[in-house]
Chains A and B, each alone.
Chain A
């Protein structure tokens, strides 16, 4: 597609429920990144995909968080047993490649997750 597409744009869930967040990157972009941004805070790195593999999962806050990417395209971030501290905007970005990072990222519009 023309841009990075994320869905849903907003999600309100009850504490303890599981949620799935979806990211559809720009066609042909091999690198895909998930970040989250809590209210008034900076961007926190979660996970990075190159193709379908995830060389760096170091930012996932706990084992309740997991992500996958299939077909080198769409990625899903799953949060199990959601907690109130998971409330944030989850941002997905893609770029043509990685390595020494000649390319900036294009961000999607984000998913605003609220855990009540």
Chain B
């Protein structure tokens, strides 16, 4: 059983700050990594994918992958109240294995 572990949170950050989310995974052979955002009462929405070691930036989001350490992270720069949600880390073989999620609250 592939395991994906995330900081349980909740994570509270002031508006404009950087939110840092961490995720570790157990399967060293994993190749594809995703971050999903889930608003309360809604379904998960894909916000980032990363496949190679290093950083990948998309707007205010940066995903970081270190396969040697089996670690993937998500940075949210200039956090906005609309970023308040649960963020799910997912690792894909032929199916996605999800972490339990980290709830982020951005205080105005």
Chain B min CB distance to A104 (Å): 4
Interface size range of chain A in the complex: 20 to 34
Interface contacts (Cβ under 8 Å), in number, total 57
Asked if B98 CB lies within 8 Å of chain A CBs, one says yes
Q: Which of B38-89 contact A (CB under 8 A)?
A: 42-46, 49, 51, 88
A101-B31, A104-B49, A107-B45 given; A41·B100 CB < 8 A: yes
Structural contact, B31 and A100, CB atoms closer than 8 A: yes
Asked if A1 CB lies within 8 Å of chain B CBs, one says no
Residues in B lying within 8 Å of A, measured CB to CB = 31-32, 34, 36, 42-46, 49, 51, 88, 90, 92-101
Q: What are 20 of the A-B contact pairs (CB < 8 Å)?
A: A33-B96, A42-B98, A42-B99, A42-B101, A45-B96, A45-B97, A48-B95, A56-B94, A56-B95, A91-B43, A93-B96, A98-B94, A99-B94, A100-B92, A101-B31, A104-B49, A104-B92, A107-B45, A109-B42, A110-B43
